[in-house]
């Protein structure tokens, strides 16, 4: 554990619940590895306590916070500066204390782009199929549209997919398609698709035998990513690998979101592998 001194800088996560967050172990491992005098703490903050928590961040000169459910939207009006993309997405997961000014970012979205890049996958000009239309889909869809991809959004509830597609079309001036998530539409969407992103919870523990996509539709020319990281290898990723596809797991995205936050708080390049190993160990210890 890092040695706490009079000049230790504090980072942390606010949310409710925060008990199962992997961020404390990831960030503390990273601080220790780089010998930085920082510590990262979990803060359980109820909805009613959010305003006071942000005032506290100012008063205590906390260097950075991650923000999780249920505060990602509600925190925005309490900040001094907002990154353009975080504003469009309407959600902040990272606050950096920049000389007393609190700046909001969305590294969930930029972390996803970084996870693709780390695999040598660029999004510009690519055709990307997104499964789901919730909060996670929104961030990922906005950043991919910004990066110049064209998107097809498939969701169980069609109107949510349509709503997200039209919002992106309006803000990013790009044409987006929306369809109901079913086998026939998956087949159609996969025609000419380069990348598949699952943002639904299908396949997550305890639902490990389910996949949002029938395995026979997966082929080797797709890059397949899944935001689910519990289990680390979902049925979708297992079947994608078996079909010869390249895969990106949910932990890569989680660690990249942390790595980008770390860089904002410390100004140093994050030790990605150390953070990932710490997260894997924490996942194993939870079992
Ligand atoms: P998050 O913020 O993590 O994206 P969310 O906003 O609750 O969470 O969104 C969950 C997504 O998973 C939604 O797209 C949801 O589909 P609906 O909009 O139809 O609810 C999708 N989802 C959850 N369970 C599903 C299931 N069993 N089959 C298909 N889609 C599912």
- Parse the chain into domains and list their residue ranges: 9-105+252-286, 110-248
Residue 175 — very low, low, confident or very high, per pLDDT cuts 50/70/90? confident
Quote the pLDDT of residue 287.
Answer: 75
Residue 279 — very low, low, confident or very high, per pLDDT cuts 50/70/90? very high
Residues in contact with ligand 1 (CB, 6 Å cut-off): 132-137, 155-157, 160, 181, 199-202
Domain 9-105+252-286 identical in fold to domain 110-248: yes
Asked whether 273 and 135 are in contact (CB, 8 A), the reply is no
Rounded distance from Cα 202 to ligand 1 centre (Å): 8
Whether residue 2 is predicted with pLDDT greater than 80 in this model: the reply is no
Fold for 9-105+252-286, please state it. Rossmann fold (3.40.50)
Rounded distance from Cα 161 to ligand 1 centre (Å): 11
Rounded distance from Cα 132 to ligand 1 centre (Å): 6
- Extract the tokens encoding 284: 């194993």
Catalytic residues: 72
Rounded distance from Cα 135 to ligand 1 centre (Å): 9
pTM exceeding 0.85: yes
- Extract the tokens encoding 199: 């943002």
Comparing CA positions, the residue from 237, 211, 235 lying closest to residue 224 is: 237
**Which tens digits make up the pLDDT trace of 200-253?**
999 999 999 999 999 999 999 999 999 999 999 999 999 999 999 999 999 999
Residue 269 — very low, low, confident or very high, per pLDDT cuts 50/70/90? very high
The pick from 71, 136, 155, 201 for probing ligand 1's pocket by mutation, whose C-beta has the most ligand atoms within 8 angstroms, reads 201
The pick from 200, 229, 230 for probing ligand 1's pocket by mutation, whose C-beta has the most ligand atoms within 8 angstroms, reads 200
Q: Looking at ligand 1, which residue's alpha carbon is closest to its atom 22?
A: 200
Comparing CA positions, the residue from 24, 26, 25, 2 lying closest to residue 15 is: 24
- Extract the tokens encoding 178: 């929306």
**Distance (Å, whole) CA 267 – CA 99:** 13
Cβ neighbours, 10 Å, residue 209: 7
Q: Is 118 exposed, middle or buried (0-12, 13-18, 19+ CB in 10 A)?
A: middle
Cβ neighbours, 10 Å, residue 86: 26
Q: What CATH class has 110-248?
A: alpha beta
Give the bridge partners for 65, in sequence order: 12, 95
* Mean per-residue pLDDT of the chain: 95
**Distance (Å, whole) CA 98 – CA 180:** 43
Comparing CA positions, the residue from 84, 13, 2, 9 lying closest to residue 254 is: 13
Residue 1 — very low, low, confident or very high, per pLDDT cuts 50/70/90? low
């Amino acid at each position: 554990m890092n040695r706490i001194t009079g000049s230790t800088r504090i980072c942390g996560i606010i949310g409710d619940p925060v008990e199962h967050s992997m961020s404390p172990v990831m960030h503390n491992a990273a601080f220790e590895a780089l010998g930085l005098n920082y510590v990262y703490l979990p803060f359980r903050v109820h909805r009613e306590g959010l305003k006071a928590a942000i005032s506290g961040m100012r008063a205590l000169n906390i260097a950075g916070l991650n923000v999780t459910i249920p505060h990602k939207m509600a925190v925005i009006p309490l900040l001094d500066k907002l990154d353009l993309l975080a504003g469009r997405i309407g959600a902040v997961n990272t606050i950096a204390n920049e000389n007393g000014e609190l700046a909001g970012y969305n590294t969930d979205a930029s972390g996803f782009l970084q996870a693709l890049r780390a695999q040598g996958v660029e999004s510009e000009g690519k055709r990307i199929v997104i499964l789901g239309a919730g909060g996670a889909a929104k961030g990922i869809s906005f950043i991919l549209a910004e990066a110049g991809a064209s998107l097809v959004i498939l969701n169980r509830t069609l109107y949510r997919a349509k709503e997200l597609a039209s919002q992106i079309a309006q803000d990013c001036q790009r044409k987006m398609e929306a369809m109901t998530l079913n086998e026939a539409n998956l087949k159609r969407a996969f025609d000419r698709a380069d990348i598949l992103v699952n943002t639904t919870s299908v396949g997550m523990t305890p639902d490990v035998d389910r996949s949002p996509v029938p395995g026979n539709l997966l082929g080797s020319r797709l890059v397949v990513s899944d935001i689910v990281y519990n289990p680390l290898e979902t049925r979708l990723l297992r079947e994608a690998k078996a079909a010869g596809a390249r895969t990106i797991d949910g932990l890569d995205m989680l660690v990249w979101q942390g790595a980008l936050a770390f860089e904002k708080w410390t100004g140093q390049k994050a030790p990605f592998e150390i953070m990932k190993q710490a997260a894997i160990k924490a996942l194993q210890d939870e079992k």
